[in-house]
Amino acid sequence: MEGFAEFFKKYKWRVLLVAFGVLFAILIFSIGFWRTLLLFFIIAVCLLFGTLLDQGGRERVRQFFGALFKSK
């Protein structure tokens, strides 16, 4: 198992991006291009909200959208 840990440490981004590419290709061929993009968009939005909630709860979400939509 140490051999894999060392391999992963050395080639972490290659392994992760190849795994992502394989997952993306499987999704493209099984559910289609637009549905795959919609799925990744929904995941990204959920990740954003989760990160904001972890950083400071509802107040952090309010700050983010306040800064995003503030009038000039």
Q: What is the secondary structure of the chain as a DSSP string?
A: -HHHHHHHHHTHHHHHHHHHHHHHHHHHHHH-HHHHHHHHHHHHHHHHHHHHHHHHHHHHHHHHHHHHS---
In whole angstroms, how large is the CA radius of gyration of the chain?
A: 18
pLDDT in tens, 3-33: 888 998 999 989 999 999 999 999 999 999 9
pLDDT in tens, 46-63: 999 888 899 989 899 899
- The structure's pTM equals 0.69
Spatial distance between the Cα atoms of 41 and 59, rounded to a whole number of angstroms: 24
